Structure 1
Amino acid sequence: MIRFGIIGLGKIAARFAQDLTLHPKAKLQAVASRNGRKAQQFADTYSAARHYDSYEKLLADPKVDVVYIATPNHLHFTHTMQSLEAGKHVICEKPFALEAAQVRKMINKAKSKQRFLMEALWTRFIPATEKVLELIDEGVLGELQSVRADFGFAASQDPNGRLFNRALGGGSLLDIGIYPVYLSYLLLGKPEAIHAEAKMHYTGVDSNCHIELTYADGKSAILESSFLETTPTEAIIEGTQGGIYMHPRFHHCEKLSLEQGGALKEIEVPCVGLGYYHEIDEVISCLEAGKLESAKMSHKDSLALIELLDAVRSLIGLQY
């Protein structure tokens, strides 16, 4: 049984905790919030063995094996480093940190402490993503040519909310643009050239972002993120012999459409629970095998992803 602790008890943490109850080898050992009452309510809802009114108390709990960090973006680095220093294994919500320099320090700390560390980017672990990779590996699409992906919704324009607050690591790129960017990296690798433009909010973060990636072999990716409007939130993957459509919302979709020679095939790829079950299962499998990183979401992958995001931020003038 792997005993989990959760730091930061917002909406994502609640979904994660709900899926945690579905795994036969997982136990929610402890939860922590700066608000003690919130921690108690969360613990009661998701049957956590213990609840704490400080993160430090959770990290001192010897019965917590791995910490899931679901605090706001700007705190991911600090809480990951604190958790590793306390001797805990760590999975941290995306974005892993605000910049590549922080991610490198996190990786180095995990290695020095001999602790497991993984970015909790659930898209990588869902059945739909696994199926897409399987089809590509089988050569069903021929030679991969392009990826188009978007993610957008009309967000509340609250300058103090986490989405538009620069001090909290806000902006569409890191919050939702990371999903299209990650999909392009997963399927096409690192680009040769990056073009990006954005509409900036008066708080200094991007309200929307348009990214074009080109590769040495002629492959390309067009990616969009937006807090200004609801977009299809779909992904279209094209090859020389066919294409795959990842249905909305593509980052946790449960249906694919495969096109080959004018014929269309629908593929159902349901998630277990809310979709977080699959990354939980990966963490448990890795820990049981004594691994310090996941082959599916490796340290190298997280570093490459944040470097891509850093490059885009530089082009659009987004600084933290």
Structure 2
Amino acid sequence: MIRIGVYGLGKISHRVIQGILYANNADLYAVCSSSLEKANAFKKEYSAEKAYDDYEQMLHDQNLDMIYICTPNYLHAKHIQMALKNFKHVICEKPMCVSSKELDECFDYAKKQNCFLMEAHKTVFTPLNQKLFEMISNGEIGQVKSIDAQYATRLTESISEWHFNQAGAGCMFDIGVYPICYANRMANSKIKQVFRLKDEALIEYENGCVAHIATSWDVSMENTSHIYGTKGSITCKNFWKNIVALINENRMIVSQKSDFTGEIEHACACVEKGLIESPVMSRMASLEILKVIGV
């Protein structure tokens, strides 16, 4: 059982913690916020063992195995390296880093410290998307030729100021990574070239597949993915978290308690196997995402 501490108790942390609680190989050990009152409230609500208001203090806890980082994007690299310095395994909310240089530095340091490091992309690890990837790999819709994936949401007052004026700001970093990650995974090929215009991109892969991804804070979209193969197609609305997809117009449903559990179970399984990098969400997978963003 991998004992996890969650650092950064914002809105997303509630869903992350639910994912940890449902995981069969993880234990919610600690929570940490700059406010001890908030940390204690989370500790009580989710039955964590420890609550901290100091990150360094939590990192010095010898009973802690892994940190799940939920802080703002521009702080990720700093907080990753602090955890690795204390020999803690790390899973970090997307985007893990705001540049390819930063990402390479983090993975190099993880290797030096012999610690596991992974970017948290639940999109890859939901039960539905794992099943779809398996079907595609088995050739059930033939050779994938085209992917279209979009995710847009109107801005709300709850969005933080750093989304606009810090490194890692902007719509592409915030929600654009979902269609990018999804397309990269389902294409299952290295990127050959990217054509990007503001918050859209056309991606050509080495295996011949072409993907169009789009995101926006300003307009509404269907938020649907379409995968077209030589023998059929797959359609899924809200593809980053859904449990239902249409396979050649046939409805497929999977069960899911939390859309975050899959990534957490995968990361913990990697640690239990002694791996320092995920074979699925690897350094290269994270670099390919940043390649589309253009950093």
User: The TM-score by the shorter chain falls in which range?
Assistant: over 0.9
CA distance in 2, matches of 1:60, 1:180: 37
When residues 216 and 289 of structure 1 are mapped into structure 2, their CA distance, relative to the original with a 3 A threshold, is: closer
Pick from 197, 210, 226 the counterpart of residue 216 of structure 2: 226
Is the 1:100–1:310 contact (alpha carbons within 8 Å) kept by the matching residues of 2?
no
2:264 paired residue number = 280
Q: CA deviation at 1:257?
A: 0.5
2:60 paired residue number = 60
When residues 266 and 108 of structure 1 are mapped into structure 2, their CA distance, relative to the original with a 3 A threshold, is: same
CA distance in 2, matches of 1:219, 1:303: 19
* Corresponding position: 1:239 with 2:237: no
CA distance in 2, matches of 1:66, 1:160: 26
Indicate the larger mover: 82-91 or 125-134: 125-134
Q: How does 1:83-232 map to 2 (within 5 A)?
A: 83-156=83-156, 161-163=161-163, 165-167=164-166, 169-188=168-187, 189-198=189-198, 209-215=199-205, 218-232=208-222
CA distance in 2, matches of 1:147, 1:56: 43
Q: How does 1:66-77 map to 2 (within 5 A)?
A: 66-77=66-77
CA distance in 1, matches of 2:70, 2:24: 22
TM-score normalised by L of structure 2: 0.94
CA distance in 1, matches of 2:3, 2:157: 38
TM-score normalised by L of structure 1: 0.87
Higher relative contact order (CA 8 A, sep 6+): 2
- Which one-letter code corresponds to 2:231 in the other structure? Q
Is the 1:142–1:242 contact (alpha carbons within 8 Å) kept by the matching residues of 2?
yes
Q: CA deviation at 1:211?
A: 1.1
CA distance in 2, matches of 1:70, 1:210: 26
* Corresponding position: 1:255 with 2:244: yes
Q: Deviations over 1:3-44 (max 9, x none)?
A: 111110112211111222223432211111111111111111
Is the 2:196–2:292 contact (alpha carbons within 8 Å) kept by the matching residues of 1?
no
2:283 paired residue number = 299
- Which one-letter code corresponds to 1:39 in the other structure? A
Is the 1:144–1:240 contact (alpha carbons within 8 Å) kept by the matching residues of 2?
yes
When residues 157 and 53 of structure 1 are mapped into structure 2, their CA distance, relative to the original with a 3 A threshold, is: closer
> Equivalent pairs: percent with the same residue?
32
**1:300 alignment partner, SS class:** helix
**2:9 alignment partner, SS class:** coil
Is the 2:25–2:269 contact (alpha carbons within 8 Å) kept by the matching residues of 1?
no
How many pairs were matched up?
A: 294
**2:219 alignment partner, SS class:** coil
- Which one-letter code corresponds to 1:171 in the other structure? G
Is the 1:255–1:270 contact (alpha carbons within 8 Å) kept by the matching residues of 2?
no
**1:192 alignment partner, SS class:** strand
Q: CA deviation at 1:83?
A: 0.4
Q: CA deviation at 1:168?
A: 5.5
Structure 1 gaps of 5+ residues are 199-208, 312-320
CA distance in 2, matches of 1:217, 1:301: 16
Is the 1:72–1:168 contact (alpha carbons within 8 Å) kept by the matching residues of 2?
no
CA distance in 2, matches of 1:69, 1:114: 19
Pick from 270, 284, 293 the counterpart of residue 255 of structure 2: 270
Q: How does 1:10-25 map to 2 (within 5 A)?
A: 10-25=10-25
- Which one-letter code corresponds to 1:60 in the other structure? H
CA distance in 1, matches of 2:35, 2:184: 38
CA distance in 2, matches of 1:228, 1:301: 28
